[in-house]
Amino acid sequence: MSLAQDQPTPPRADTIFLHGNIYTGVAVASSFHAIQRVEAMAIRSDRIQDVGKESEILKLKGPETQIINLDNHFVMPGFNDAHLHLAHAGFQRLTVNLVGAKSLTEFRDRIRARVETAEPGEWIVGSGWDHTLWPVKELPSRWDIDEVSQNHPVFLQRVDGHIAVANTRALQLASVTLASKEPAGGKIDRDSSGQSTGILRETAREAVTGVIPKPSHDKRRQAIEAALRDLAQWGVTSAQDNSSWEDFQIYEEIQRDGKLTSRITEWLAFNDSLDTLQAHRSARPQSDNVLRTGMLKGFMDGSLGSKTAALLEPYADDPINSGLPQYEQAQLTQMTKERVGAGFQVGFHAIGDKGVQMALRTFDEAQKEAREKKIKAANGGNDYRLRIEHAQVTTPLQIAKFKELKVIASTQPNHLLTDMNWALDRLGPKRAAHSYAWAEFLKRGVPLAFGTDYPVEPVTPFRGLYAAVTRRSEDDKREYFPEQKISMEQAIAAYTTGSAFAEFSEKEKGTLAPGMLADFVVLDRDVTSVPPLKVLGTRVLRTVVGGKTVYEAN
Ligand SMILES: [Zn+2]
Ligand SMILES: [Zn+2]
């Protein structure tokens, strides 16, 4: 910088991106729905230095500045997936993947293929099966799996992660017998003679999961790195993740090695003791924007697919069943008050309207007490940003309550692509009209965040965008309550600024504006202008996190 100049020279950009169709995510002040677009963007260190016209941005070019030509491609803020299970996604690659198996035969064939390469007596673990996709929509049994293997213990989780099936060998090792009692919050399905059929619901699965040996450290790390590659390839620059504390320590290791290619905010388990939670929270500074801990996740209920989501009225296709609530209200409120009182953000998995109601009641009381006691929220303010994860079945009154309490609806529009096959049967038309109610949430002014629930659904954000704007199946043949559609601009906002708000990071993430983190994606098409069906086939050309390219298509 020379003193002779009347204006100091701005520091030079590290990288300048030119000739782009850059969707900044920043609303144009003069217009309601328009989003500012620019041609060029300058990056310095891990931040956006400036955006604007090429002639302006090129003034930031120095002798060392790298210039990248975007060839008029569409650029948008990186996807912030507000709800996923990264480690689980990785382990799924080490296990039998049953996602999309179209029949009991295919289900068994995939298990057999794994059995053939396994060590003698080795556990065969897998997940992703969905009997509602099979010609005969019956749950598999232990006898179905015994036909494939009686020597290997086999344990297979359903796609929703709420029920599982075990073979006879696994049940023996887990000591699930005729005499086993039903655990609280779970159920062992039995035949007419009282024998377990192999189906274990909710907490009943713990008898088996408790005896499965854990994968080695190296295997865990390999699995997690594979899942991280998936994220980079799909343009997910931030992940709000529900894995274990052990997995978090592996993330730290990966970060130390400079290989963490997505920012991670790790959830802690709501049920852990306050001491444990505080110790885990203090493991890293909350200001760390690469890897830190975030909200506490608790479970109000199960899932609609397995009919364990808690409903106010019984299932339309199962009139004696209203699902399985996971807490008693008074105890839940007590625990939540304690945790919000200690400055934790809390998010509850709630899928059915009964689960949502439990969460809202408890949030109301916990928030009131925290305000009275002037408790500071995770960001130092008094806005606690309590969240409900999924919020699939809601009543209009509940949606009004979300707004009143400023509760965030953290939803996954891609779930609808799978669930529309049976959601109407489960719920009946009256309830279904207010399910997956994205338009209603936005109309009421409820903050909306989008994610995928990966690996329950694939991590691609483009299925979610497609579902949000069409409410149609991927083959374009079915439609589900189109009045709950939202616009592409709204869907992108939920996936970027909305998710950032849900993790207290809207000051750093979600838009491409000077000073924000340089997290963005270059796509092969402009998702705001192609026909919706074309959105499904979108490819990511480049993913940039903190100014560094972490993925480039070849
Ligand atoms: Zn969940
Ligand atoms: Zn989940």
282 and 370 in a common domain: yes
Q: Which ligand is closest to the CA of 451, given by its number?
A: 2
Q: Which of 209, 234, 260 is the last residue of a domain?
A: 209
Q: Which ligand is closest to the CA of 303, given by its number?
A: 1
Cβ density class 338-364: b for 16+ within 10 Å, e for less: ebbeebbbbbbbbbbbbbbbbbbebbb
CA distances from 50 to 17, 29, 257, 291 (A): 11, 18, 30, 25
The region of weakest confidence among 31-35, 217-221, 496-500 is: 31-35
From ligand 2's centre to the CA of 464, what distance in Å? 15
Q: Is 10 a member of any domain?
A: no
**Residue that the structure tokens 């601009």 belong to:** 489
220 and 205 in a common domain: no
**29 or 230, higher pLDDT:** 230
438 and 296 in a common domain: yes
- Please give the Cα distance from 472 to 514 (Å, whole number): 37
User: Which residues neighbour 450 within 8 Å (Cβ) at sequence distance 6 or greater?
Assistant: 81, 82, 410, 411, 412, 413, 461, 464, 468, 491, 494, 495, 498, 499
- Please give the Cα distance from 368 to 361 (Å, whole number): 11
290 and 248 in a common domain: yes
**33 or 224, higher pLDDT:** 224
461 and 424 in a common domain: yes
* DSSP letter (8 states) at residue 83: E
User: Number of structural domains, the chain?
Assistant: 3
Q: Which of 209, 238, 265 is the last residue of a domain?
A: 209
Q: What is the mean pLDDT of the chain?
A: 95
From ligand 1's centre to the CA of 299, what distance in Å? 7
If one counts every other C-beta atom within 10 angstroms of the C-beta of residue 181, the result is 6
384 and 282 in a common domain: yes
Q: Is 196 a member of any domain?
A: yes
First-last CA distance in the chain: 40
**Residue that the structure tokens 């970060």 belong to:** 255
Q: In what order do the strands lie in the sheet with 186-190?
A: 96-97, 124-129, 154-158, 163-166, 196-202, 186-190
pLDDT for position 378: 86
459 and 344 in a common domain: yes
From ligand 2's centre to the CA of 83, what distance in Å? 6
ipTM for the whole complex:
0.94
DSSP track, 303-337 = -TTTT-S--SS-BTTBTT------S-HHHHHHHHH
Q: CATH number of the domain that 159 lies in? A: 3.10.310.70
Q: Which ligand is closest to the CA of 242, given by its number?
A: 2
From ligand 2's centre to the CA of 84, what distance in Å? 6
Q: Is 86 a member of any domain?
A: no
499-520 mean pLDDT: 98
Q: Hey, what are 58's tokens? A: 């090129």
Q: Hey, what are 313's tokens? A: 């009225």
Confirm if 393 and 354 have CB atoms less than 8 A apart.
Answer: no
486 and 517 in a common domain: yes
* DSSP letter (8 states) at residue 49: E
**Planar angle of CA 47, 254, 297, nearest 5 degrees:** 85
255 and 169 in a common domain: no
Residue numbers of the domain that contains 201: 95-209
Q: Is 1 a member of any domain?
A: no
pLDDT for position 10: 81
- Please give the Cα distance from 14 to 68 (Å, whole number): 11
| Identity of residue 485 | K
Segment 347-361, tens digit of pLDDT: 999 999 999 999 999
From ligand 2's centre to the CA of 349, what distance in Å? 8
Q: Is 85 a member of any domain?
A: no
pLDDT band per the 50, 70, 90 thresholds, residue 31? low
Confirm if 12 and 61 have CB atoms less than 8 A apart.
Answer: yes
From ligand 1's centre to the CA of 249, what distance in Å? 22
Q: Which of 209, 236, 264 is the last residue of a domain?
A: 209
Q: Is 81 a member of any domain?
A: no
Question: Cα 362 vs. chain centroid, distance in angstroms?
Answer: 23
428 and 333 in a common domain: yes
Q: Is 89 a member of any domain?
A: no
User: What burial class does residue 209 get, using C-beta atoms within 10 Å of its C-beta: 0-12 exposed, 13-18 middle, 19+ buried?
Assistant: middle
From ligand 2's centre to the CA of 161, what distance in Å? 8
Q: Hey, what are 293's tokens? A: 């801990």
- Please give the Cα distance from 471 to 350 (Å, whole number): 21
Residue 393: closest CA among 358, 342, 344, 343: 358
- Which residues surround the ion ligand 1 when the cut-off is CB under 5 Å? 349
pLDDT for position 2: 46
pLDDT band per the 50, 70, 90 thresholds, residue 324? very high
Q: Hey, what are 507's tokens? A: 């000051």
Name beta bridge partners: 350. Answer: 390
From ligand 1's centre to the CA of 390, what distance in Å? 7
- Please give the Cα distance from 554 to 551 (Å, whole number): 10
CA atoms within 13 A on the CB side of 6: 0
pLDDT band per the 50, 70, 90 thresholds, residue 6? low
pLDDT for position 32: 59
Q: CATH number of the domain that 41 lies in? A: 2.30.40.10
pLDDT for position 358: 98
DSSP track, 475-492 = TS--B--GGG---HHHHH
Q: Which ligand is closest to the CA of 240, given by its number?
A: 2
From ligand 1's centre to the CA of 34, what distance in Å? 34
360 and 390 in a common domain: yes
SS3 459: coil
Is residue 3 over pLDDT 70? no
167-173 mean pLDDT: 97
User: What burial class does residue 226 get, using C-beta atoms within 10 Å of its C-beta: 0-12 exposed, 13-18 middle, 19+ buried?
Assistant: middle
122-134 mean pLDDT: 94
pLDDT band per the 50, 70, 90 thresholds, residue 1? very low
Q: CATH number of the domain that 316 lies in? A: 3.20.20.140
223 and 204 in a common domain: no
From ligand 2's centre to the CA of 39, what distance in Å? 37
From ligand 2's centre to the CA of 456, what distance in Å? 7
**Residue that the structure tokens 């616009």 belong to:** 487
pLDDT band per the 50, 70, 90 thresholds, residue 63? very high
Segment 254-284, tens digit of pLDDT: 999 999 999 999 999 999 999 999 999 999 9
Q: Is 63 a member of any domain?
A: yes
Q: Where are the alpha helices (DSSP H) in 243-378?
A: 245-256, 274-281, 329-341, 353-372
- Please give the Cα distance from 373 to 386 (Å, whole number): 17
